[in-house]
Amino acid sequence: MRKTEILSLKWANIDLLRGYIFIEDSKSGKPRKVPMNSAVSSAFMGLPHVADFVFYNSETKGPVRDIKTAFKAACRRAKADPKDENDSGIVGLRLHDLRHTAATKMIEAGVDLVTVSKILGHASIQMTMRYAHPTPENMKRAVDRLGDILDPTRQKVDTVEIPKPLKHSVIYN
């Protein structure tokens, strides 16, 4: 989801039973449903319902306007070795980079571009393609899969063993 969609998210738009988040006001101007995985559902279940907004300002109970400070602090704390004073944590990461990562990881997992585009709320596949960053390893895996399909000797054949009738059994037709 986009940062503005996350920060303006209301509890009324989270459907834990059906497993989706309803985005009323998206960048494209069209509402959409974003499916949740179990990790997201669990995270929401662990949050208190204090205000209408999921991420709220404790003084106003309105939505949080920005998270730059908190995000930078989280990046500083994300060290390979927490005791290493020379480790600056994650440097140069922006919240929006996580959208690119999510798109890339979904595509690496074999999710088609149309589905990724719908989840991200893009108006066109071309925009989604800007988010998807194929790696040399994934491109190699793609052509290997094509080879598996085209080369019959590399295809797996499922065999089914049919049990033999018992010595005194009766077979009915």
Name the strand (E) or helix (H) holding 32: strand 32-35
**pLDDT reading at 132 higher than 80:** no
Q: pLDDT band at residue 159, thresholds of 50, 70 and 90?
A: low
Q: Is the pLDDT of residue 167 over 60?
A: no
What are the Cα distances from residue 140, in Å, to 134, 145, 151? Answer: 10, 9, 16
